[in-house]
Amino acid sequence: MDLGIHGKRALITGGSRGIGRACVVELAREGADVCVVGRDATLLAAVVSEAASFGVRAVSVAADLSQFEGCKAAFDACVTALGGVDILINNAGAATTGPILDLPVEAIQDAMNLKSFGYLRMAQLCIPSMRANGWGRIVNIAGGAGTSPTAGNMPTSIANAAVLNITRALSDAVAKDNILVNVICPGLTNTDRARTLARGQAERRGVDVEVVVAEMGRSLPARRIAEPEEVARVAVFLASEAASYVHGSSIYMDGGARRATP
Q: How confident is the model over 26-61, as pLDDT tens digits?
A: 999 999 999 999 999 999 999 999 999 999 999 999
pLDDT < 70 regions, the chain:
95
**pLDDT for the residue numbered 244:** 97
**pLDDT for the residue numbered 165:** 96
CB 12 within 8 A of CB 89: yes
Instruction: Name the residue type at position 71.
Output: C
- The pTM of this model reads 0.95
**pLDDT for the residue numbered 215:** 86
The alpha carbons of the chain give a radius of gyration, in whole angstroms, of 18
**pLDDT for the residue numbered 209:** 84
At the fourth CATH level, which superfamily is domain 9-189+227-253?
Answer: NAD(P)-binding Rossmann-like Domain (3.40.50.720)
Q: Where in the chain is the domain with CATH 3.40.50.720?
A: 9-189+227-253
**pLDDT for the residue numbered 242:** 97
* Inter-CA distances, 36 with 67, 90, 261, Å: 17, 11, 36
Comparing CA positions, the residue from 121, 114, 151, 142 lying closest to residue 235 is 142
